[in-house]
Structure 1
Amino acid sequence: MNASVVSALAALVGAAIGGLTSVLASWLTQRTQVRAEWRAHDRIRRQELYRDFIEEATKCYINALQHNEPDLPALGSLYAKISRMRVQSSREVADEADLIGRKIVDTYLAPDRSFLELREMLADGSIDILGKFSDVCRAEFASLRAQLF
């Protein structure tokens, strides 16, 4: 074989390998960036959903402690957020949110609480129906963070 043909083939193969390497590196970089952006967006979306759920659940629970008549639009909004959690969140988070919704509905069926009873509930911690939900959410975010590394 002619030395010039070997040289030309080596140059072509080298150029092809270099081009493929460049394309592959670019594709991997872009894929990594897209995944990181998606995870960041997903985390923000979950944080906003959990914040909105906590605020709505708090309002509904306080209303349930003071009234026998449920605030149906607020309960509907609360259960819409629970349904969104079933789609977006871990099973543990969605299950805990569902338990909170059930506790709120059950609270409407209980007698109204006086201000003194509310104060006692604050003192013994029984008014906090969102504590375990917060813990489960924190664990989910820790799991999401661990997936990044």
Structure 2
Amino acid sequence: MNASVISALAALVGAAIGGMTSVLASWLTQRTQVRAEWLAHDLTWRQDLYKAFIEEATKCYVDALQHNQPDLAGLGNLYAKISRMRVQSSLEVADEADVIGRKIVDTYLAPDKSFIEIREMLADGSIDILGKFGDVCRAEFESLRAQQF
């Protein structure tokens, strides 16, 4: 083989490898950025959903402590949020949200609480039906943040 052909072939192969390396690096960078943006959007979406769920659950629970007649619109909104969690959230979060919904329904069936009974529930911590939900959500967020890096 001619030395000039070998030199030309080596230059072409080197250029091809360099070009493919550049394209591959760009593709990997773009893919990583898109994934990070998607995870950040997903995290924000979940935070908004969980915040709305906590607010709705709190309203329903307070209503359930004071009344025997359920707020059907509030319960409907609450269960709509639980259904959204079943689609997007971890199984643990959705299951814990369902437990809260069931506790609220059970509270409507229980006798109304007096202010003194509510004060006692505050003192012994039994009024906090959202504590475990918060813990499960925090664990899910930590897991999602770990996936970002």
TM-score range, shorter chain: over 0.9
**What is the aligned partner in structure 1 of residue 81 from structure 2?**
81
**What is the aligned partner in structure 1 of residue 70 from structure 2?**
70
CA distance in 2, matches of 1:19, 1:145: 34
CA distance in 2, matches of 1:84, 1:113: 31
Letter in 1 for 2:146: A
**What is the aligned partner in structure 2 of residue 102 from structure 1?**
102
The correspondence of residues 43-54 of structure 1 with structure 2, limited to 5 A, is 43-54=43-54
CA distance in 2, matches of 1:55, 1:103: 15
TM-fit CA distance, 1:11: 0.9
Letter in 2 for 1:28: L
SS in 2 for 1:70: coil
CA distance in 2, matches of 1:132, 1:29: 38
TM-fit CA distance, 1:148: 2.8
TM-fit CA distance, 1:76: 0.3
SS in 1 for 2:14: helix
| TM-score, with length taken from structure 1 | 0.97
The correspondence of residues 109-124 of structure 1 with structure 2, limited to 5 A, is 109-124=109-124
**What is the aligned partner in structure 1 of residue 142 from structure 2?**
142
CA distance in 1, matches of 2:19, 2:136: 48
TM-fit CA distance, 1:116: 1.3
The alignment yields a C-alpha RMSD, in angstroms, of 0.8
CA distance in 2, matches of 1:135, 1:24: 41
For these two proteins, the number of residue pairs brought into alignment is: 149
CA distance in 2, matches of 1:24, 1:6: 27
Show CA shifts across 1:22-55 (max 9, x none).
Answer: 0000000000000000111111111111110000
Letter in 2 for 1:75: L
Return 5+ residue gaps in structure 2 as ranges: none
CA distance in 2, matches of 1:146, 1:25: 23
CA distance in 2, matches of 1:147, 1:33: 13
Return 5+ residue gaps in structure 1 as ranges: none
**What is the aligned partner in structure 2 of residue 34 from structure 1?**
34
Q: Which runs of 4+ in 1 moved over 3 A?
A: none
Letter in 2 for 1:3: A
Letter in 2 for 1:19: G
SS in 2 for 1:105: helix
